[in-house]
Structure 1
Amino acid sequence: MNKRLTVQDRALIATRYEMWPSVVEVQRWWRSQRGKHATLGAKTIKNGHQKLMKTGSVYDTERSGRPSISGSPEVVDVVRETFTRSPETSIRKTSLETDLTCYGIHSVLKTELHYRAWKPHLVQQIFPEDCDIRMEFSEIMLDWKDDWPELFDNILWSDEAVFHVGGFVNRHNCHY
């Protein structure tokens, strides 16, 4: 497992490379300091030294590019409120309404709110003989209600599915 070097470690490595301009010598010194299994790549040594000579510091430079706003509490609250209010809304529509990027909204949904995209998979066809099995299951559920009165309070009941006699299900309109 690679551990990130501290600023002090980077400074020591860069100054040792300045003293001994040999990657092998710096690696030997590092193993003598940290133990025989401690490794240090040549690129790490050279980049740290180059950064010290160029900027006078071994601190990481600030990255360019668009700043990430997806983890900010305000954005998380906006996305949570939007999808709580109307969970069937698409990410693109939410992006247009909130002036957030699609990537940012998707990132918040996945990492902060732990939502996952899900499409139903059709795996079973209902046959006439399934009616008896369904009746048996219904009777078992009613028996369970006597032992567990809160059972039906823990089930989300919905009648929002559309079934066609020919077996066609429009999964494109299913949102979860």
Structure 2
Amino acid sequence: MPLNERDRIEILMMIGVGDRMRTQQEVCRLFHEMHPDREPVSQSTRKYRELGHVRDAPRQGRPKINENVQQDVILSALENPHCTVRQVSRDLNIGKSSVSNIFKRVRLIHELAEDDFDRRTEFCEYMMDHNNQNNGFIANILFSDEATFFLNGHVNRQNTRYWSQENPHWMQEYHTQHPQKVNVWAGIVRNRIVGPYFFDENLTGA
């Protein structure tokens, strides 16, 4: 278990620094009566002998993320919405993964109207009732989706980001009139994947 400085001092007092009145085995027995783990006894005595104190060593690496750091990251995005994770990481001396996590935590989500919660609850209850009445009802549903992939090689999502708490209706224009693209449709039913199927034309509900 992790020890704080008070626990380590307690161990040293049990030993009796200087007079060696108790052995480590005796201290382990005493310490075990109050704490479940014996390993900290030897760790604390070894640290005191080697360093002369029982304080934790300063942590290495980049500073720990706190509320002030999060505010600095968000301000960087507000000042320069086109900034990259790498730029913010370098400017603020924060790990790239930490910057990315902060950006993701402040992302926008789909707005829900007041009655959306009731509608979603009703839908869940409807599906559960039908599945209870007709075993395998959900297993016979085909869940599908489609996506369009552009093949012109110009679009790189990693380099065309815009960080904002509001929808800025920002666009990145590329110099091509008719970019090559492919439409993909796939589905899942039970434990099977249907497709994927590739189409040159746009997908419709027909």
| TM bracket (short chain) | 0.3 to 0.5
Structure number with higher helix proportion: 1
1 or 2, which has the higher strand percentage? 2
* TM-score using structure 1 length: 0.47
Q: TM-score, normalised by structure 2?
A: 0.42
